[in-house]
Amino acid sequence: MTNPDKIVIHGTPKQYDANELKARQEEWHHAYRETTQSCKIVRAAIPTQFLQSVIDYADKGYTLTDYPVSFEPLAYSAYMRKPVAAQGIDIAKINDDVRDAYKLELEADHAKYQKLLLEQLLQAEEIKQAKAVASAKEKLLTRLQKEVDACYAPLEFPDK
């Protein structure tokens, strides 16, 4: 046996929990809303092109954010928050990604427990077989010792 320590499984694999999934999704929703992930950056090299782009995006439902607007020459830019419909598409993708990651985590946990159980059963079988071999060897030695004892008479040696 390669591992003399007995394998013991503690606990059970994690199970699907709708509340856990919802909490993870809400955490990612918060991160999405509070970062530039929910924004589109509008850029232009010329001020009038920049302003026209901002107007065009505003017409599509985008809104200016509290992020700083850059008026650097040839590098005008501003973050504009995506409209609710576009955010809904992003949120749906986030939900799918979080769900997939959660599923992979649960599958990995189940696989870990299955591997541990397999190792535990294999170890138990190896111990059982080793005991059977030791018992058979002991019985064989006992039988052979009786044969040896039967072949030779006890040694007689005078006391004095």
Measure CA 94 to chain center. Answer: 18
Greater confidence (160 vs 53) lies with: 53
pLDDT of residue 85: 95
Between CA 145 and CA 25 the distance in angstroms is: 73
- pLDDT bin (cut points 50, 70, 90) of residue 154 is confident
Concatenated DSSP letters of 11-59 = S------HHHHHHHHHHHHHHHHTSGGGEEEEEESSHHHHHHHHHHHHH
Distance of CA 120 to the CA centre of its chain: 22
Contact assessment for residue 21 and residue 98, using Cβ atoms and an 8 Å cutoff: yes
Q: Which residue type, as a one-letter code, is found at position 37?
A: Q
78: left (phi over 0), alpha (psi -120 to 50) or beta: beta
**pLDDT of amino acid 3:** 52
Summarize the confidence of residues 69-92 as an average pLDDT. 96
pLDDT digits (tens, 9 = 90+) for 7-47: 888 888 999 999 999 999 999 999 999 999 999 999 999 99
User: pLDDT of 106-131, one tens digit each?
Assistant: 999 999 999 999 999 999 999 999 99
What separation in angstroms does the CA of 15 have from each of 31, 102, 106, 141? 26, 10, 7, 53
- Domain ranges across the chain: 18-150
Q: What is the mean pLDDT of residues 126-152?
A: 92
Specify the higher pLDDT residue, 109 or 6. 109
Angular region, 61: left φ>0, alpha ψ -120 to 50, beta rest: left
CA distances for 77 relative to 37, 80, 81, 86, angstroms: 16, 10, 13, 20
pLDDT band at 1 (very low <50, low <70, confident <90, very high): very low
pLDDT value of residue 50: 96
Q: What's the mean pLDDT when you consider all of the chain?
A: 93
Average pLDDT over residues 88-113: 97
Predicted structure pTM score: 0.72
